[in-house]
Amino acid sequence: MKRTNKLVAAAAVLTALTAVGTTVHAGTKITFGTSIYRNPAGDGYAEGAMGSARNSYAGSPEYVWCYTGVNFAGAPMGACAVYDANGQFAICNGTGYYQFLAMASAGPDSYIQFWWDTTGKCTYITVANASYNEPKLP
């Protein structure tokens, strides 16, 4: 196959893949409402997106947050919390280095999910910063 034909074929494949990707994914926006699931033992998980929580109905406001800091000894610490439309509140505290990094990666439009144990310590944290997360409205 001549070099020109190879370039045309490669361009055609790239164009087709780009068109499919654009058609399927362009402009996708997902609303992640807040949710809290608490087990009878006291452990559980909570999730929500900052943008979706911020844009929630004024009659039942929701919020999601994470904060990070360093204690006097220089050890990392942080917490994440969710307040849902039903008036439930969940929080977990973390002092591990990787938990700290996950919490610190939260941005203004992040989706956050966390699990906690019966003592309120974080056992799992996910922070997703993605273009499909609903952004905050003014």
How is the chain split into domains, by residue range?
A: 1-27, 35-128
| Strand boundaries in 13-137, DSSP class E | 35-38, 44-49, 63-70, 76-83, 89-94, 111-116, 122-128
**Quick check: pTM over 0.85?**
no
Is residue 92 within 8 A of residue 115, CB to CB? The reply is yes
Low-confidence ranges of the chain (pLDDT < 50): 1-24
94 strand-pairing partners: 78
Query: Quick one: pLDDT at residue 30?
Result: 85
Summarize the chain as % helix, strand, coil (round to 5). 25, 35, 40
Tens of pLDDT, residue by residue over 55-88, are 887 778 899 999 999 999 999 999 999 999 999 9
* Best CATH choice for the domain 35-128 from the list 2.30.29, 1.25.40, 2.40.50, 2.40.160: 2.40.50
Question: In angstroms, rounded to a whole number, what is the distance separating the alpha carbons of residues 101 and 125?
Answer: 10
Cβ(107)–Cβ(66) under 8 Å? Answer: no
3-state SS, residue 109: coil
d(Cα 91, Cα 2) in Å, to the nearest integer? Answer: 63
